[in-house]
Structure 1
Amino acid sequence: MAIKIMICDDEIDILDVTQMILEDAGFEVIAVSDSLNAEQIFLNEMPDLLLIDLWMPGISGDRIISSLKSNVAHTNIPMIVLSASDTGKQTAMSCGAEDFIPKPYDIDNLLDILNSHLIEKSNSKY
């Protein structure tokens, strides 16, 4: 069974390219462009990892992460911020995200970071 990653970004081009990269790497991808529905989609899909932009119309990524992380059932799911924000790393860490990837991102760096968190998550199950 493929590892499921949910991507949430209102920039459709970034969403499409990131989805293609992750699918080519063998992941199952749930791509979401509407932050207003992101939390419900997350709860329905229960991905292995969430990759989310910070600044989106509707609900910001940090609010979504904070809300999801407030439920103990989601604390072991890595949530990583992908953002072009100058304060993105600080915001990501303050809302409970496990990591921050700046836009524009390097593909190899993106995959390395995601894989390291998925390995860590896998090891923590035992």
Structure 2
Amino acid sequence: MNKGNSKVIICDDDQSILELLELVAIGAGCEPVVVSKSLDVMKAIRHTKPALVILDLWMPVMSGDMILQTLRKDAEFGDLPVLIVSASRDGKVIAEQNGATEYLAKPFDIMDLTNILEKYCSS
């Protein structure tokens, strides 16, 4: 984790969830970088070098678990903390099997999300 890095990439295809995650991230002292298309996430990660990535599990084109698998194989970003958020009953298992650092089931508690964000964002 980069010392003093407070950037968080948030990727979800649901605009209302994206906005909620962004607001909570700002409130937790993070600098959110919002990505609404899963295909743009890896480019954003390489450009931003965030402290944390938040991924929805089920997104069109490239799912959160596919992105997570790609990250875990990447030499530069293999250890990057990733929070998976999902409404899927199997979400926690899928997240764990693919190497997620954190997991929150939707609907999630705002305080749980805030605690995770504060853990990784260091201003």
TM-score normalised according to structure 2 size: 0.89
Ranked by relative contact order (alpha carbons within 8 Å, sequence separation 6 or more), the top structure is 2
Separation in 1, partners of 2:28, 2:101: 21
Partners of 1:74 and 1:10 in 2: CA distance = 23
Please report how far the alpha carbon of residue 46 of structure 1 lies from its aligned counterpart in structure 2 after TM superposition: 1.1
Alignment counterpart, residue 13 of structure 2, candidates 10, 19, 35 = 10
Indicate the residue corresponding to 1:96 in structure 2. Answer: 99
Letter in 1 for 2:82: M
The 3 A distance-change label for structure 1 pair 112 and 33 is same
Please give the alpha-carbon distance, in whole angstroms, between the structure 2 residues aligned to 1:20 and 1:71. 29
Residue deviations 1:67-123 (CA, integer Å, cap 9, x gap): 01101321331011011111000000111111210111111111112333x28xx8x
Q: Which residue of 1 aligns with 2:89?
A: 86
Paired residues in the alignment total 119
Please state how far the C-alpha of 1:2 moved relative to its aligned partner: 5.5
Q: SS where residue 74 of structure 1 aligns?
A: coil
> Higher helix fraction: Structure 1 or Structure 2?
1
5 Å matches for 1:48-67? 48-67=51-70
Per the alignment, residue 21 of structure 1 pairs with: 24
Partner Cα separation in structure 2 for residue 61 and residue 78 of structure 1: 14
Provide TM-score, normalisation by structure 1. 0.87
1:38 aligns with 2:44: no
Distance in 2 (CA, whole Å) between partners of 1:101 and 1:114 is: 12
Alignment check: 8 A CA contact 1:7 1:52 kept: yes
Gap runs ≥5 in structure 1: none
Q: Structure 2: where are the runs of 5+ without partners?
A: none
Tell me the SS of whatever aligns to 1:80.
Answer: strand
